[in-house]
Amino acid sequence: QKEVEQNSGPLSVPEGAIASLNCTYSDRGSQSFFWYRQYSGKSPELIMFIYSNGDKEDGRFTAQLNKASQYVSLLIRDSQPSDSATYLCAVKFYNQGGKLIFGQGTELSVKP
Amino acid sequence: GAGVSQSPRYKVAKRGQDVALRCDPISGHVSLFWYQQALGQGPEFLTYFQNEAQLDKSGLPSDRFFAERPEGSVSTLKIQRTQKEDSAVYLCASSIDPDTGELFFGEGSRLTVL
């Protein structure tokens, strides 16, 4: 069983809508949670991280964490065509050093 | 440098050849990671260095894969006797503090094994 799971998509939303991206993880002492964005042919870049239960907002992005349900999500408000990319969920587990375990990514397409 | 630099960006190898992929991390970043990313998949962890010490190599798929970082800066990932299933993008990432989990990725080395 994969430790971090995401729906591969593609997820298609109209411009201006809210895009909701979801991720579940196995409970092996999960520590912190990250969302990376990867444009086609490019390397992943960090969007947000979250450590505590609840919501964390940064501009149009909101990360939501529910440790009891082993669930982390990313909401993108007022989606733009430039948000079209693959979104990678990553988890850092206790006693695993600094490495991140990534999900397979969700492809998001924002239609004008 | 300003970012993580990887070379070569593209490598085509015949099955059975050895390849070496280089990573030059951001100056001052003590942690360095190698990931393998197959088409349409997320990055898969290969190995992790803190300075020159290889602290975790649990993700290396076979003994054909070897990584080193002898002086705690530049790292090389070597793949011996390449196989078709080794075809992937190899991503290097560095981090100034392994506790934060924020990784800065290079552009990757795309390996194609014919």
CB B4 within 8 A of CB B92: yes
Residue A95: pLDDT over 90 = no
| Residue in A59, A64, A65, A63 with CA at minimum distance from that of residue A80 | A59
The alpha carbon of residue B80 is apart from the nearest alpha carbon of chain A, in Å, by 24
- Which residues in chain B touch residue A49, judged by CB atoms under 8 angstroms apart? 100-102
B44 CB-near residues (< 8 Å, 6+ apart): A102, B35, B36, B37, B38, B59
pLDDT at A28: 65
pLDDT at A96: 75
- Tell me what pLDDT residue B101 has: 72
Both tokens assigned to A9: 């998509």
Mean pLDDT of chain A: 92
Alpha-carbon span B76 to B22, nearest angstrom: 5
Mean pLDDT within B5-22: 97
Interface touch B45/A42, C-beta < 8 Å: no
Contact B105 A44 (CB under 8 A): yes
pLDDT above 70 coverage of chain B, percent: 98
A103 contacts on B by Cβ (under 8 Å): 42
Interface of B with A in 15-34 (CB under 8 A): 31, 33
Residues 6+ apart with CB under 8 A from A3: A25, A26, A28, A91, A93, A101
Q: pLDDT tens for residues A33-54?
A: 999 999 999 999 999 999 999 9
